[in-house]
């Protein structure tokens, strides 16, 4: 059980990092000047931003639950 939670935590953390990097910048400041990786790979599509936002939220929930479960086991 412990190994499964560690694997789930590792995969969700890597997925969370990737989805956050794929999202485009929201403001016109420095983050707007440096566009997300998703724009250079997929082009500028509004649907992709919404997909990455939902995927980020789902991965964040999985990350929090797996870290909480791992803390309870230890």
Q: pLDDT digits over 30-50, tens only?
A: 445 555 555 555 566 667 888
As a dihedral over the C-alpha atoms of residue 32, residue 37, residue 42, residue 43, rounded to 10 degrees, the angle is: 30
Does this model's pTM top 0.85? My answer is no
**C-alpha–C-alpha distance, residues 39 and 36, integer Å:** 6
Task: State residue 74's pLDDT score.
Answer: 83
């Amino acid at each position: 059980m412990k190994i499964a939670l560690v694997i789930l935590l590792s995969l969700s953390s890597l997925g969370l990092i990737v989805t956050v990097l794929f999202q485009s910048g929201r403001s016109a400041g420095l983050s707007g000047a440096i566009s997300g990786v998703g724009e250079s790979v997929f082009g500028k599509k509004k649907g992709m931003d919404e997909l990455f936002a939902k995927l980020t939220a789902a991965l964040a929930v999985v990350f929090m639950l797996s870290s909480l479960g791992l803390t309870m086991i230890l």
